[in-house]
Amino acid sequence: MKLHKFRITGFYSKMLLFCILILSTISLILAAIVSSFAKKYEQAEFLKKYDLTLNNLHNSFELKQRNYNAALDSLFDIPYAYNDLCTFLQIANPYDLEVSTNKNIITALNRICDFDSSCIGILLFSNVTKQLYQFDPKYSSLNQIPLTTDWPEHSPFTLGIMNDTQLMLSSTGFKKPSSNTYGLVGTIFKSSSKTNKVLGQIILLYPTSEFLSVLNSYPLSAEYAYSITDSKQNIIFRSSGDYSDSSDLFLEYPTGNSNNVVSYPTVTTTIGKEAYFTSSIYNGRYDFYTSYQIKKAGYGTGYTQNLILLLALFTCVCSISLYVVTFQLARKKVRIIQKGMSKIGSNNLTYRIPHSKGQDEYSHIITGFNRMCDDLQKNVEQSYVYALQQKNAELYALQTSINPHFLYNTLELIRVQTLHGNPVSASQMILLLAKIYRNQTNREMFISLGEELEQCENLISLYQYRFQNFEYEFYIEDALSPYGLPKNTLQPLIENYFVHGLDKNREDNYLKLDGALITNDGNSYIKLTLSNNGQPITEDELKGLLVKLNQSVFENNESSGFALSNVNNRLRIVFGEDYGIQPGALEDGSGFSITIMIPPVLTAELRERKHTVMQQPKP
C-alpha cells in the first residue's frame, strides 16, 4: 500500500488549520478547567461520607468525655462512698479497712459501671501510697496490681487520656478487659477550707470496639484508616489495628484559641509511595485529634471529569477530521488542476483538464482555465513549434560535428600501433573503433547513461594501447543507468583529457568519474564530475574558458575549448539554460575537474520529446 504524506502548503489552508487548532486548544483548555471543577466536586461528594464519619467519630469520643463527670456522680449517690474512697487511697494496707467500707466502695464502683454501660473496668491510683488497684465489674472485685514504671503525670482537675500501650506499661498485673482499651483519667481530691488535696486518679476503662461500631454504620468503600490520638500522638484508636507507630499521621497543630474545635480541610499527602486523602479534627477542650487517611487509588477518576475530557477530545478530533476530509477533497481537485497545468507546461497544448462533477469553485476554475488554454494554443503553437524545430536542427548539427574529430584521432592511434609492429593491438583497436563508430552512426540522439559509460570504456581502452602511465575509476550509482543524456556527452571530455591533461612524463596520471543523484531545494539533479590530477588550470585560463562556454559553438572559431563548448551547448539545448558544465580546479588547487548538472529524465522520454517536435508541421 502506497502511503502519501499529508502536507499542507496553501496559505488559506494553513490559516484555516490554524483557526481550527486555536479553537481546539481553547476547547481543551476550557474542558480542562471545567474538568478540574468537576473533579473537585466529585472528590467532595466522594469524601462527604468519610467526613461525616469523621465528625461522628469525633463527637462519639467527645461525648464520652463529656459524660465522664456524670458517671462519677454515682459516687455521691451512696452515702459516704466518696469519703470511703478517699480513705482507701490514703492507707497503705487496704485490708485494714472495715468490711462495710470496702463494700461501700465496691458498690459505688459498680454503680459507675451500671451508669455507663460501655465502661468495662476502673483503675484507682493513690498519689499518697503509690499503689494501683484494678476493679473488675464482672466479679465486683478490687485488687491491687504492681506498678511497673512510674505512674504517668496528669494535670490535676483536668480530664486525661491513657491509651492501651500506656495502660499495659503501667503494670504487669493489668488485666485487659478487651483487646484494645483506653482510659479516661479524673482526679480524686479531698476538699478543705484552705485547699484541695489531690489523693489520686480514677481511670474509667472503655473498649475501642465502640468506635468500630461507628465506622461500620457507614458504607465506606475505599481503603481507609481512622485514628484518634492525643496531642502527643499517642494512639487511642486506629481502625487498621496498628497501635505501634504514629509517624505516618499528618496532624496540623492549631493556632490561636486552643479550646475550640478546629476542622482541617482535606489534603493529599504521600505515605511511602502511596497517595492518600487526609483530614483531621482537633478538639482543644479535651486535647485530642480525630483523623482519617483514605487511599487515593480507591477514589479513581470521576465519571463526569472523564466525560468532559472525552467530549472535548472528541470535538477536537471531529473538527480536525472534518478539516482533513475537506482538505483532501480540495487537494484532490487542486492536484487535478496542477496536473493539467503541468502537462500543458510540458508543451502538451492539446491537453485539457477534465471537468469534475458539481458546480463548485474548482469547476469554474477548470472551465476558465481550459478556455484560456484554447486561446493560448492558437497564439503560440506556430512560433513555439517552429522554434523547437530550429533547435532540433542545431542540436543535430552539433552532434555530427564531433565524429570527424574523433575518427581522426582514433585512426592516428591505429597507425602508430601498425608502425610499431603490433598487429594484434591494431586489430583490437579496430574492433573497439568499430563499436564506437557503430554508436556514432546510430541516428538516436539520446542514449542512457549506462550506454554512454560503455562507450567511454571503449574509448579509454583505445588510449590504453598508447599510454600505459594512467589509471582511471568510475563511481556511478547503479540507479542512474536508465537516465538519458545527449550522445557523446562524456566521450569528448575524456578525449580532451588525453589530449590536454595527460602528463607523459609521470606514472601516476589519474582520471576519475563520479556520478550521484542529489537533491537541492526539493529538486533532484544528476551530478557527474570528471576530474584528473593533470596540469592545473590557471585563473585566467578558467575565465577565458567560461567566456567560451557562454558562446554558441558556431560563434567560437578557436580549436581550443571546442569539445567543452560543444557539450555545454548541447546540454543547454536539451535541458535548458540552467543546465550545462562547470569547469574548475580540484579542492586543493591542483588538477582539473568538470561538473555536469542535468535533470533525471529517462532516455525514452527524451526520445519522445524529439519525436514529438519532429512530427509538428512548420508554420
Could you read off the pLDDT of 229-271 as tens digits, one per residue? 988 888 899 888 877 776 667 666 555 456 788 888 888 888 7
Q: Is the pLDDT of residue 580 over 60?
A: yes
Task: Write down the pLDDT at residue 298.
Answer: 66
Do the Cβ atoms of 106 and 140 come closer than 8 Å? yes
Cα separation of 581 and 592, whole Å?
A: 13
Task: Write down the pLDDT at residue 512.
Answer: 92
State whether residue 146 is helix, strand or coil. coil
Do the Cβ atoms of 239 and 216 come closer than 8 Å? no
Q: Tell me the pLDDT of the chain averaged across its residues.
A: 80
Strands (DSSP E) found in 132-241 = 132-136, 141-145, 160-162, 181-191, 196-207, 224-230, 235-238
| pLDDT tier, 202 (very low <50, low <70, confident <90, very high otherwise) | very high
Could you read off the pLDDT of 514-535 as tens digits, one per residue? 999 999 888 899 999 999 988 8
Cα separation of 172 and 179, whole Å?
A: 16
Task: Write down the pLDDT at residue 468.
Answer: 84
Q: What is the DSSP string of 235-275?
A: EEEETTS--S--TT---PPP-S-TTSEEEEEEEEEEETTEE
Cα separation of 57 and 62, whole Å?
A: 9
Task: Write down the pLDDT at residue 390.
Answer: 45
| pLDDT tier, 182 (very low <50, low <70, confident <90, very high otherwise) | very high
Sheet bearing 181-191, strands edge to edge: 141-145, 132-136, 121-126, 196-207, 181-191, 160-162
State whether residue 214 is helix, strand or coil. helix
Which is more confident, 114 or 242? 114
State whether residue 362 is helix, strand or coil. helix
Q: Side chain identity at 129, as an amino acid letter?
A: T
Could you read off the pLDDT of 312-325 as tens digits, one per residue? 777 878 877 777 77
State whether residue 212 is helix, strand or coil. helix
Q: Report the DSSP beta bridge partners of residue 511.
A: 472, 532
Mean pLDDT across 6-26: 74
Cα separation of 583 and 262, whole Å?
A: 92
For residue 424, the surrounding DSSP H or E stretch is helix 423-441
Task: Write down the pLDDT at residue 405.
Answer: 61
Which is more confident, 82 or 5? 82
State whether residue 279 is helix, strand or coil. strand
Q: Report the DSSP beta bridge partners of residue 448.
A: 484
Q: Which CATH superfamily is domain 391-615 in?
A: Histidine kinase-like ATPase, C-terminal domain (3.30.565.10)
What are the cell numbers at 229?
A: 490520638
Task: Write down the pLDDT at residue 301.
Answer: 59
Task: Write down the pLDDT at residue 617.
Answer: 53
Sheet bearing 274-283, strands edge to edge: 235-238, 224-230, 288-295, 274-283, 261-271
Could you read off the pLDDT of 467-506 as tens digits, one per residue? 888 899 999 988 999 999 988 889 888 888 888 888 888 8
Q: How big is the CA angle at 9 (ends 6 and 10), to the nearest 5 degrees?
A: 125
Do the Cβ atoms of 590 and 535 come closer than 8 Å? no
The number of beta carbons lying within 10 Å of the beta carbon of residue 495 is: 22
Cα separation of 586 and 533, whole Å?
A: 8
Task: Write down the pLDDT at residue 422.
Answer: 79
Tell me which residue of 550, 409, 575, 413 sits closest to 492, measured CA to CA. Answer: 409
Could you read off the pLDDT of 357-408 as tens digits, one per residue? 666 777 777 777 778 777 776 666 545 544 454 455 455 445 554 556 656 7
What are the cell numbers at 106?
A: 465496691
What are the cell numbers at 279?
A: 483530614
Q: What is the DSSP string of 92-113?
A: S-GGGS-HHHHHHHHHHHHHHH
Cα separation of 517 and 522, whole Å?
A: 12
Do the Cβ atoms of 486 and 446 come closer than 8 Å? yes
State whether residue 299 is helix, strand or coil. coil
Cα separation of 146 and 148, whole Å?
A: 6
> What is the number of residues in the chain?
619
Task: Write down the pLDDT at residue 461.
Answer: 86
| pLDDT tier, 409 (very low <50, low <70, confident <90, very high otherwise) | low
Do the Cβ atoms of 281 and 55 come closer than 8 Å? yes
Q: How big is the CA angle at 396 (ends 392 and 402), to the nearest 5 degrees?
A: 150
Query: Could you tell me what percent of the chain has a pLDDT over 70?
Result: 84
Task: Write down the pLDDT at residue 516.
Answer: 93
| pLDDT tier, 611 (very low <50, low <70, confident <90, very high otherwise) | low
Cα separation of 123 and 109, whole Å?
A: 10
Mean pLDDT across 562-580: 83
The full set of domain ranges for the chain reads 65-298, 391-615
Query: Could you tell me what percent of the chain has a pLDDT over 90?
Result: 17
